[in-house]
């Protein structure tokens, strides 16, 4: 058997991975939409979609196909260029961030080492955070270009919310970077293996603050003010229809998957099984790391749905108060405590 | 929908039609618009006992731009009629309208100076559901009837302008 | 880009205006500068229509005024006509009317808690409220055959008697009520976000509440224990023991507390009425063509939304000369701008929800 | 037993005080079905309502009712009458004031009872009665372009046109 040509290694496999990275979040989004509708229904004492396909699993597909064949309306007073580019910006910035999300340790196939990420960068974490912050441009472009009042208010709320909650996110991420001594997502997970403990258990405050801020960044309940239905109709995407609206809709869920992935990687050991260093539990390593990773992010995605099914919505001033009065001081104090303890111990 | 083209429908397009209508009929996103009494029964249909979500119709959209189905639930007055019309026009094609309740069907028990005698005077209606108000079962029956209607359409005719 | 003096138009098609209400809102960033409710999008001309109908024909139309509490409207109308025509309603019918009206009050308040929570973002509570409400709709369906607009009363009494099966069913439903209410209260009472959104929001002083003519739970939440069932009793309400819940908070949370307690008091009244149900007829002798001598009457009752009254002027024929309905929502809605002053845009929906308006009876 | 029009001492006392205050503006009083109706001259209406609110505890306006006595109401009768339902909650008393509109206009009582704001707009909309001194007298239910006033007896039920 001859070794595959470099063409395969240099071109085909990366291409395959890029396609996979495009589809993995989309598949997760479909799963997430179905999960959300079923779980919220169960919380509310209903059944949820169960007619289309087995237990309604084809429901998101039917929705997607339908929405592709919907008319695309660009109203006359809209700024056409920005109106068209906004959904794409939101969608692709959240999909692009997935390039740097590692799904597991490299797999050896003969002499070739197949890495489970598209790109590994020494500044991967910064890139992911940056990309997720870029999507807010799409939101404000969309809100502004619609030239309508509710979308504009929704977009402004969204920008303020994302900007404020970037601060606690940055501060909590710093603690992780500080312990792992790396900004590379792969190295951060490895450092948790070497350090014998998940950072979420070591620094629970960081994990909780990051998660709350992450929920706020994704504009989800109880922080779903930018699209608060009872106030702002549909928020920044009020004027969008058809496929462009689908982009916003999908990006919303992709963003949730991204935040869940980040929580898992930064605080809950990525693809590592629980208690990775306990010899008695070594058999847990037999399960592929990818599955551990999936199970963990499913837990956090479920948490999103659970919160949505339970809590009312924050008011705008309370939302800002929560960030300035609680999360930012807390994350600052937490950061100082980590630094001090690290040097004292 | 358009007039049927002459001759039989090509095989491939029939398959595509079936696929598209399958998606469309299983994913009506209703416009969250309630006018009067019937709106309460519409909400009751979304609640646990009747659960409209089983069919995938629970995503009541607040914005008409994202809705497929306009359930006119209640009395349409002359003051409200222009707004109903505008909401209909804001919805993207393909779109469907259900007149829920006797008021929307024909003005119901209000033959007065301020009530529009049937919403079909301002927008085209696909399905009429009688009742004052219709029970949730009635609303669901109307939706299933609409599903049958959508399943018999040929979206590709519109797309490829295959009508004369 | 400035947000000073931005004018927003909420409704008549808006997810949280409870039907077809339109609010013209002026905001400075998120702070409300002024707010003006515009009504009339559901004006069906009922009062004009009634002048061409006979007295019994009008009864079904009253169902469609406050369509969440249909029996309460029937009740007020029937009492007004009976007072004008001098019809004596049998004691048993009076008791059963109280049972039906109080069950309707429970179901109306359950729907209200759902809407209110939904406006504030707790979608699940909407569905809990509606799920619990179904049990009461079942009772009405078993009694009169309809779910929402049931035309449950007749002039002079009732169309049907309560049978033992139905009484047992009502008792069973009420037995499950405290648990259902606790479920909702667990989600809301001590919820930080819920408290933030409701406490200190939509305040109105007792003096202002009287001046603006507030009635019902909104007035009682301002600390004034005014309940027509207690103060000017009708239909044998004086026979029953019940408290008039009040709150001195006078904000959205206060109105929430008052309504939750009222549900329990209503259950108490129903239980008493079923325990002491007198024997006898349920329908008085009323002539088939009811002609009422010239006269006028104004009779008010305590409906779920507040003081619901009918003014009827007769002219000796079988049709009324004029009927005017005093709708609680119409008067209560007037105070919305006052309650919203200095508030934040998001508060509007919460305050509007706490008023518990129904456009059907506002616009008539 | 009181010798006033109602036979109820508290209501009679209120009526006597009103009669003393308004003087010859009181045109008459009717007691029927347990309800006291006091007919007043339109000119004295605001003062009477304010007096009842300030001195006799009738602090709540329950409702305002417009009446159309027909296009030809007869000798000495005005076409439009407005009824005011007032509450004294502490004493549990109800009183009804009636005022005939002279020239399709009446003084507004919004200055006394805020609750009268929309009620007067409603009567304006339905009957075309103007309320002098109302801050913002517009149609409330019907569209501004609507012609006619539906609750007038000569307005057809199904509208004109």
The residue-averaged pLDDT of B42-68 equals 85
pLDDT of residue C1: 43
Answer yes or no: is A204 within a domain: yes
Q: Are B134 and B101 in contact (CB under 8 A)?
A: yes
Within a domain: A40: no
Q: Is residue D141 a part of any domain in this protein?
A: no
Q: What is the pLDDT of residue D128?
A: 86
pLDDT in tens, C184-198: 888 888 888 888 888
Residue C253 touches partner B, C-beta closer than 8 Å: no
- The domain in which residue A258 lies consists of 74-344
D85 and C326 within 8 Å at the Cβ level: the answer is: yes
Contact B63 A72 (CB under 8 A): no
d(CA C157, CA C171): 22
Instruction: Flag whether D75 is in a domain.
Output: yes
Question: Is ipTM strictly over 0.90?
Answer: no
Query: Which CATH fold would you assign to the domain B31-153?
Result: Rossmann fold (3.40.50)
Most B CBs within 10 Å, among C108, C130, C364, to test the B interface: C130
Task: Looking at the complex, report in whole angstroms how far the Cα of residue D127 sits from the nearest Cα belonging to chain B.
Answer: 15
Of D63, D114, D139, the CB nearest to C326: D63
CA C46 to chain centre: 18
Chain B residues close to A234, C-beta within 8 Å: 61-63, 66
Average pLDDT value over all residues in chain C: 87
Contact A315 C346 (CB under 8 A): yes
With cut-offs at 50, 70 and 90, classify the pLDDT of residue C98. very high
Query: Which C residues in the span 339-358 are in contact with A, Cβ-Cβ below 8 Å?
Result: 344-349
Are the CB atoms for C12 and C362 separated by under 8 Å?
A: no
- Lowest-confidence range among B28-32, B67-71, C177-181? B28-32
- Which residues does B62 contact at the CB level (< 8 Å), separation at least 6? A229, A233, A234, A238, B32, C14, C15
- Predicted confidence band of residue C270 (pLDDT cuts 50, 70, 90): very high
Is C138 in the B-facing interface, judged by CB distances under 8 Å? Answer: no
Q: Tell me which DSSP letter residue A55 carries.
A: G
**What is the rounded CA–CA span in Å between residue D104 and residue D129?**
5
Task: Look at residue B9 in the predicted model and tell me its pLDDT.
Answer: 67
The number of residues making up chain A comes to 345
Comparing CB atoms, the residue among A52, A65, A73 nearest residue B92 is A73
What is the distance of C-alpha C85 from the center of its chain?
Answer: 26
- Choose the closest CB to B111 out of D141, D158, D160: D158
* A/C touch flag: 3 or more CB pairs below 8 Å: yes
Q: Can chain C be said to touch chain B, i.e. do they have 3 or more Cβ pairs within 8 angstroms?
A: yes
Chain C residues touching B87 at Cβ < 8 A: 13
Kindly state the average pLDDT of the residues B122-132: 90
**pLDDT at residue C201 greater than cutoff 70:** yes
C53 touches chain B (CB under 8 A): no
Q: Which residues of B touch D143 (CB under 8 A)?
A: 78-79
Residue C36 structure tokens: 């003006």
Tokens of A195: 């350090």
Tell me if A3 is assigned to some domain: no
Q: Is residue D121 part of a domain?
A: no
**D132 within some domain:** no
The top-scoring range by mean pLDDT among A114-118, A144-148, C41-45, D29-33 is C41-45
Under 8 Å CB pairs connecting chains B and D tally to 20
* Burial class, C169, CB count within 10 angstroms (exposed 0-12 / middle 13-18 / buried 19+): middle
Confidence band of C16 (pLDDT split at 50, 70, 90): low
- Which residue did the predictor score with more confidence, C72 or A76? C72
- Chain A nearest-CA distance from B101, in A, is 25
pLDDT of residue B145: 92
| CB contacts < 8 A (A, C) | 83
pLDDT at position C109 is 92
Tell whether A233 lies on the interface with B, counting CB pairs under 8 A: yes
Neighbors of chain A by Cβ distance (3+ pairs < 8 Å): B, C
| Residue A253 belongs to a domain | yes
Give the mutation candidate from D159, D160, D161 for the B interface (greatest B CB count, under 10 A). Answer: D159
pLDDT at B164 over 50: no
- The answer to whether the CB of A198 falls within 8 A of the CB of A188 is no
- Can chain B be said to touch chain D, i.e. do they have 3 or more Cβ pairs within 8 angstroms? yes
Q: Which residues of A touch C (CB under 8 A)?
A: 40, 43-46, 149-150, 153, 156, 221-222, 224-225, 228-231, 233, 308-318
For residue B112, give the nearest of D143, D157, D160 by CB distance. D157
- DSSP class of residue C154 equals B
Cis peptide before B133 (omega within 30 of 0): yes
- H-type helices in C121-156, by residue range? 123-144
Contact B83 C111 (CB under 8 A): no
Radius of gyration in angstroms for the set of CA atoms belonging to chain B, rounded to a whole number: 17
List the domain range (segments joined by +) for residue D66.
9-106
pLDDT confidence bin for D5, thresholds 50/70/90: low
Over residues C62-88, mean pLDDT:
89
pLDDT at C232 > cutoff 80: yes
Q: D126, C40: Cβ pair inside 8 Å?
A: no
Secondary structure of C280-291 in HEC code, one letter for each residue:
CCCECCCCCCCC
The mean predicted confidence, pLDDT, of chain B is 84
Q: What confidence tier does D1 reach under pLDDT thresholds 50, 70, 90? A: very low
Among A283-292, B69-78, C108-117, C176-185, the range scoring the smallest mean pLDDT is A283-292
Q: Do chains D and A touch (3 or more CB pairs under 8 A)?
A: no
| Tens digits of pLDDT across chain A (345 residues) | 455 666 666 777 778 877 877 788 888 888 888 888 888 888 888 888 888 878 888 888 888 888 888 888 888 888 888 888 888 888 888 888 888 888 877 777 766 777 777 777 777 888 888 888 788 888 888 888 888 888 888 888 888 888 888 889 988 888 888 888 888 888 888 888 877 778 878 888 888 999 998 888 888 878 877 666 667 777 788 888 888 888 888 888 888 888 898 899 888 887 888 776 777 777 777 777 788 888 888 899 898 888 888 888 888 888 888 888 888 999 889 888 888 888 887
How many domains, in total, are found in chain D? 1
Mean pLDDT of all residues belonging to chain D: 83
* CA nearest to D63 within chain C: C326
Look at the domain C6-363 and name its fold: Cytochrome-c3 Hydrogenase; chain B (1.10.645)
Taking CB atoms and an 8 Å cutoff, what residues of chain D touch C333?
118
Q: What are the DSSP calls for D27-71, one per residue?
A: EEEEEETTEEEEEE-GGGHHHHHHHHHHHS---EEEEEEEEE--S
Q: How many domains does chain A have?
A: 1
pLDDT for A230: 65
Specify the CATH number for the domain of residue D68.
3.30.460.80
């Amino acid at each position: 058997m001859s070794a595959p040509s470099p063409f395969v290694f240099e071109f085909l496999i990366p291409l395959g991975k890029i396609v996979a990275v495009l589809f993995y979040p989309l598949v997760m989004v479909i799963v997430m939409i179905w999960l959300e509708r079923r779980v919220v229904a169960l919380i509310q004492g209903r059944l949820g979609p169960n007619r289309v396909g087995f237990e309604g699993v084809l429901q998101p597909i039917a929705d997607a196909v339908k929405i592709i064949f919907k008319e695309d309306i660009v109203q006359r007073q809209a700024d056409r260029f920005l109106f068209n580019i906004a959904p794409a910006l939101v969608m692709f910035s959240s999909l692009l961030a997935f390039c740097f999300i590692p799904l597991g340790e490299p797999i050896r196939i003969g002499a070739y080492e197949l890495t489970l990420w598209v790109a590994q960068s020494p500044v991967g974490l910064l890139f992911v955070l940056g990309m997720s912050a870029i999507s807010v441009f799409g939101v404000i472009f969309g809100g502004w270009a619609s030239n309508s009042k509710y979308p504009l208010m929704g977009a402004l709320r969204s920008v303020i919310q994302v900007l404020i909650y970037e601060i606690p996110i940055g501060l909590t991420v710093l603690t992780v970077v500080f312990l792992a001594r790396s900004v590379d997502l792969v190295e951060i997970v490895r450092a948790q293996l070497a350090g014998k403990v998940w950072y979420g258990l070591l620094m629970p405050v960081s994990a909780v603050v990051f998660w709350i801020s992450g929920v706020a960044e994704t504009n989800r309940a109880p922080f779903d003010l930018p699209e608060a239905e009872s106030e702002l109709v549909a928020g920044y995407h009020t004027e969008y229809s058809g496929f462009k609206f689908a982009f916003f809709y999908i990006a919303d869920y992709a963003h949730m998957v991204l935040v869940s992935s980040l929580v898992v990687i930064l605080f809950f050991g990525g693809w590592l099984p629980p208690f990775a260093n306990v010899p008695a539990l070594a058999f847990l390593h037999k399960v592929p790391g990818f599955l551990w990773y999936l199970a963990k992010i499913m837990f956090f995605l479920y948490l999103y749905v659970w919160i949505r099914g339970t809590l009312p919505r924050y008011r705008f001033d309370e939302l800002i108060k929560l960030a300035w009065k609680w999360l930012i001081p807390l994350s600052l104090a937490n950061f100082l405590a980590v630094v001090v303890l690290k040097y004292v111990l | 929908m358009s007039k049927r083209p002459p001759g039989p429908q090509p095989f491939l397009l029939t398959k595509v039609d079936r696929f598209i209508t399958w998606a469309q009929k299983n994913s009506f996103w209703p416009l969250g618009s309630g006018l009067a009494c019937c709106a309460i029964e519409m909400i009751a249909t979304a609640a646990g006992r009747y659960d409209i979500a089983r069919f995938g119709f629970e995503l009541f959209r607040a914005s008409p731009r994202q809705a497929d189905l306009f359930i006119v639930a209640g009395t349409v007055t002359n003051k409200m009629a222009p707004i109903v019309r505008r909401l209909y026009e804001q919805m993207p094609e393909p779109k469907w309208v259900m007149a829920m309740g006797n008021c929307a069907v024909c003005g119901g028990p209000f033959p007065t100076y301020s009530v529009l005698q049937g919403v079909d005077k301002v927008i085209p209606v696909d399905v009429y559901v009688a009742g004052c108000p219709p029970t949730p079962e009635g609303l669901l029956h109307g939706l299933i009837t609409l599903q049958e209607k959508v399943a018999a359409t040929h979206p590709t005719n519109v797309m490829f302008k295959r009508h004369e | 880009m400035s947000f000073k003096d931005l004018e927003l138009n909420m409704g008549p098609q808006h997810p949280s205006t409870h039907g077809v209400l339109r609010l013209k809102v002026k905001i400075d960033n998120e702070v409300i500068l002024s707010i003006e409710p515009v009504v009339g999008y559901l004006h069906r001309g009922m009062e004009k229509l009634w002048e061409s109908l006979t007295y019994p024909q009008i009864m079904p139309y009253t169902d469609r005024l406050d369509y969440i509490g249909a029996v309460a409207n029937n009740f007020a109308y029937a009492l007004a006509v009976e007072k004008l025509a001098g019809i004596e309603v049998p004691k048993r019918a009076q008791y059963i009317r109280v049972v039906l009206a109080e069950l309707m009050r429970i179901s109306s308040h359950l729907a209200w808690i759902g809407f209110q929570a939904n406006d504030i973002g707790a979608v699940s509570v909407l569905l809990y409220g509606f799920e619990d409400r179904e049990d009461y709709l079942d009772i009405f369906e078993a009694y009169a055959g309809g779910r929402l607009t049931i035309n449950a009363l007749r002039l002079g009494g009732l169309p049907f008697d309560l049978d033992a099966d139905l009484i047992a069913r009502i008792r069973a439903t009420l037995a499950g009520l405290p648990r259902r209410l606790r479920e909702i209260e667990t989600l809301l009472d001590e919820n930080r976000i819920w408290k933030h959104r409701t406490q200190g929001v939509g305040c109105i002083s007792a003096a202002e509440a009287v001046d603006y003519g507030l009635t019902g739970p909104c007035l009682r939440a301002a600390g004034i224990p005014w309940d027509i069932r207690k103060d000017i009793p009708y239909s044998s309400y004086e026979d029953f023991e019940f408290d008039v819940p009040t709150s001195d908070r006078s904000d959205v949370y206060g109105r929430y507390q008052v309504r939750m307690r009222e549900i329990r008091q209503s259950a108490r009244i129903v239980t008493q009425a079923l325990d002491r149900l007198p024997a006898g007829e349920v329908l008085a002798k009323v002539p088939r063509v009811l002609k009422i001598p010239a006269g006028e009457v104004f009779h008010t009752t305590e409906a779920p939304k507040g003081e619901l009254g009918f003014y009827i002027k007769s002219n000796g024929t079988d049709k009324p000369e004029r009927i005017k309905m005093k709708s609680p929502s119409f008067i209560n809605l007037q105070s919305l701008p006052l309650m919203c002053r200095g508030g934040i845009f998001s508060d509007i929906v919460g305050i509007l929800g706490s008023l518990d308006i129904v456009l059907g009876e506002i616009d008539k | 037993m009181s010798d006033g029009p109602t036979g109820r001492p508290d209501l009679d006392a209120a009526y006597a005080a009103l009669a003393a205050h308004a003087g010859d503006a009181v045109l008459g009083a009717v007691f029927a079905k347990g309800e006291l109706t006091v007919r007043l001259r339109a000119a004295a209406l605001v003062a009477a309502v304010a007096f009842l609110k300030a001195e006799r505890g009738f602090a709540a306006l329950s409702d305002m009712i417009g009446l159309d006595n027909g296009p030809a109401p007869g000798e000495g009768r005005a076409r439009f009458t407005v009824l005011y339902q007032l509450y004294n909650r502490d004493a549990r008393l109800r009183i009804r004031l009636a005022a005939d509109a002279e020239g399709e206009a009446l003084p507004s009582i919004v200055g006394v009872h805020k609750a009268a704001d929309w009620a007067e707009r409603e009567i304006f909309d339905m009957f075309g009665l103007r309320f002098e001194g109302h801050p913002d007298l517009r149609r409330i239910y019907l569209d501004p372009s609507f012609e006619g006033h539906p609750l007038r007896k000569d307005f057809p039920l199904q509208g004109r046109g």
